[in-house]
Amino acid sequence: MDQTLSDFGTVFVFLLLGIIFVIGGYLTARLLRPSRPNPEKLAIYECGEEAVGSAWIKFNIRFYVVALIFIIFDVEVVFLFPWATVFKQLGAFALIEALVFAGILIIGLVYAWVKGDLDWVRPTPNIPKMPVVDDKEEGR
C-alpha cells in the first residue's frame, strides 16, 4: 500500500512540476517581452498579404474531404510498419492479417472513389424533369 501511494506521489509531483514549468514560462515571457502595440501590428493579415473581403466565405468541402481521406490512409499505413518489423517471427498468420488489413483499406479507397469524393470537379447531375400534366386534359 505504501509503495502505491509513493508511485502516485511521484506522478503527482511530475504533473505539478510540469504545470509550474509551463506557467513559469508564460509568466517569464510576459514579463520580458516588449509590448508596443500599434495599428500596423494589430492589422489582420494572411501570410503577409493584406486581407481582402470577409473571412466568412464558403470553402469547397472537397478540399476538406480529400485532406481527411489522405490523413486516414496515411495514418493507417503507419500501422504496417510494426507489422513489417516482426513479419518473419509471426509467419503466415501475420501475412494473412496484413492482407486483410490492406483489403479493408482498398475497399475504403474504392468506396471513396465510386462515391466521387476523390474527384476535384464533379459532373453536374442530369436530373430529368417530369412532364407537367394538366388536370383539364385528363378530363377531371
Residue 68 belongs to a domain? yes
CA distances from 124 to 30, 108, 116 (A): 55, 24, 12
- Boundaries of domain holding 35: 14-51+58-115
Cell numbers found for residue 132? 407537367
Of 72 and 1, which is predicted with more confidence? 72
Q: Calculate mean pLDDT across residues 117-127.
A: 72
The tens digit of pLDDT for each residue in 53-105 reads 776 777 777 778 888 888 888 888 788 888 778 877 888 888 888 889 889 88
pTM of the model: 0.44
Q: Calculate mean pLDDT across residues 114-130.
A: 75
CATH code of residue 40: 1.20.58.1610
CA distances from 126 to 15, 59, 61, 92 (A): 61, 24, 21, 50
Cβ contacts of 95 within 8 Å, gap of 6 or more: 87
Residue 90 belongs to a domain? yes
Task: List the beta strands (DSSP E) in the chain.
Answer: 45-46, 49-50
pLDDT of residue 21: 97
Residue 76 belongs to a domain? yes
Residue 135 belongs to a domain? no
The tens digit of pLDDT for each residue in 9-63 reads 888 999 999 999 999 999 999 999 888 888 877 777 767 677 777 767 777 777 7
Residue 32 belongs to a domain? yes
pLDDT of residue 122: 64
Residue from 79, 62, 73, 78 nearest 119 by CA:
62
Residue 1 belongs to a domain? no
**pLDDT class for 140, splitting at 50, 70, 90?**
low
Report how many domains make up the chain.
1
Residue 100 belongs to a domain? yes
Residue 104 belongs to a domain? yes
